[in-house]
Amino acid sequence: MSTQSKGFDLGNTSGVQEAEDEGTVIEVLDQNSDVMEHGKGKTVTMRVAGSYSKRYKAAQHKQTNRALKGKRTKFDAELLETQRHEVAAACVMEWAGFFDGGAPLECSRANALAVFAAAPWILPQVEVAIEDHASFTGTNSPS
């Protein structure tokens, strides 16, 4: 039995960026890949925008413009790591279950950078979520 492909239809692309702008919720795992909880049955979560989102594009453009303005021609590992952190932090929209000294930690770009520095296992989880396009339009997508 053969199925004919519909191919690519430019008219069917609407809603993709909007879905990634809304973000998807991920459960954040600890350093042992176990789900973290805060309170009874509440898991530690983040809402993350995707790489087709306005947030992601703005973070990428900011980095590119900074490099062009400074005419930076040398890149090193530290700079590339900082850029990864900055893009991921820009895509973190909200979170639940993050604390500092027992007090709730406000979700902000600066605090996301602090979380990535203190808990480096969280950054790859956010990066995977940013590129998991099916999660923005599938059953994992918040609506």
Does residue 139 have a pLDDT over 50?
no
Instruction: Give pLDDT tens digits for 88-122.
Output: 999 999 999 999 999 999 999 999 999 999 999 99
| Bridge partners, residue 45, by sequence | 27, 96
CA distances to 14, 18, 19, 51, 69 from 9, rounded to whole Å, are 10, 18, 18, 21, 38
pLDDT at residue 72, as a whole number = 61
Taking the model in full, what pTM does it have? 0.86
For the stretch 32-88, pLDDT in tens is: 999 999 989 899 999 999 999 999 999 999 988 888 887 666 778 888 889 999 999
